[in-house]
Amino acid sequence: MSDPAPPLFVVGCDRSGSTLLRLMLDAHPDLAVPGESHFIPELRRRFPDPVDPEVLTPALLRTPHFRHWKVAESSVWERVRVMEHPSFAGVIEAAFLANADEQEKSRWGDTTPIYVRSIPLLHALWPDARFVHLIRDGRDVALSYRSLHRGPDTVWVVAHTWRRDVTAGIRDGQPLGTDRYLEVRYEDLVADAKAGLQTICAFADLPFDEAMLDPGARQEHPTPAPEEIRHFEAVAGGLLGDLGYERRFPDVAARERVEGALRSGALDLRAAAGHVRRRLGRRRARP
């Protein structure tokens, strides 16, 4: 069995348009992009090298996101059991390629936004992988969250999350070089889908195909209230400006800047405490 072509990962802050881009990419006749996976970092924490594919594979097959793909488990096992040198990356790839097989496609991709925080891990597993970092104006990300019944409940939290995730993607992606990492603006993709997809295809060594164009998938979102924009820019206005987005409130009041810094600091402390609790929990769970 020949080595598969490198995978294509689409990452970014949640609500940045990854679903739209996934539908476009999955319409390519050579590229299969299933729903979000989410299982790679968690399984890697549970299964460091050397891995036993007879243990790792069942764990993968039990994950809810894999089960949602509705891929035949036998197709995954068929690929795993012919591996000459089983590895963690190889078993994971077997699941994606089994999905591609069912669609008679040869390439695989993944559009799990939260993997923007896992670029070093994914690059270590697949050194030839391509990463598309999808970036959207964070104020529109905040609006998108308003249409959901889950996720951050205040604009302060969205601003903090957006700044953290976009910063992580840029920090970990740009050092990989332009042949491995590509930044795409959601606004540019919506304005000229063909040009955006041609750029992504060239980056991924895929021929562009007209089947990828799907203008009916675009959505309009309500206009944010000025107070929400001001609060967002109090937390993440600096990054908005660095990325070239025009700020509505370039001179945010000092009181709001301080409040934004305090709220962000509290969220960082909460995240750090949660990380410590999870590590302690995993240690207690070890036999």
Q: Using CA atoms, how far apart are residues 72 and 177, in angstroms rounded to an integer? A: 37
**Residue 229 confidence (pLDDT):** 82
- Chain-centre distance for alpha carbon 23: 14
| Least confident interval from 40-49, 104-113, 145-154, 220-229 | 220-229
**Residue 270 confidence (pLDDT):** 58
Q: Using CA atoms, how far apart are residues 255 and 112, in angstroms rounded to an integer? A: 36
| 17-31 burial: b if 16+ Cβ within 10 Å, else e | bbebbbebbbbbebb
Most confident of 22-31, 136-145, 220-229, 246-255: 22-31
**Residue 217 confidence (pLDDT):** 43
Averaged pLDDT for residues 91-120: 97
Dihedral over Cα of 2, 25, 172, 275: its sign: negative
Is-contact 31 155, C-beta < 8 A? no
Which residue has better confidence, 154 or 230?
A: 154
Is-contact 109 7, C-beta < 8 A? yes
Structure tokens at 56: 């790792």
The string of pLDDT tens digits covering residues 164-210 is 999 999 999 999 999 999 999 999 999 999 999 999 999 999 999 99
pTM (predicted TM-score): 0.81
Is-cis flag, bond preceding 113, omega within 30? no
CATH class of residue range 8-33+111-285: alpha beta
Is-contact 23 217, C-beta < 8 A? yes
Q: Using CA atoms, how far apart are residues 11 and 169, in angstroms rounded to an integer? A: 8
Amino acid at site 154: T
Question: How many CB atoms within 10 Å of residue 195?
Answer: 12
Cross-strand partners of 134 = 184
Averaged pLDDT for residues 44-72: 96
Question: How many CB atoms within 10 Å of residue 139?
Answer: 23
Place of tokens 């903090």: 160
Averaged pLDDT for residues 71-89: 96
The whole-chain average pLDDT of the chain stands at: 86
The conformational region for residue 150 under phi > 0 = left, psi -120 to 50 = alpha, else beta, is beta
Q: Using CA atoms, how far apart are residues 109 and 226, in angstroms rounded to an integer? A: 38
Torsion of Cα atoms, 70 then 76 then 78 then 84, to 10°: 170
CA 38-155-196 angle, 5° bins: 55
pLDDT band at 277 (very low <50, low <70, confident <90, very high): low
**Residue 191 confidence (pLDDT):** 93
DSSP state of 148: S
Domain-wise residue ranges, the chain: 8-33+111-285
**Residue 177 confidence (pLDDT):** 98
pLDDT at 86 over 60: yes
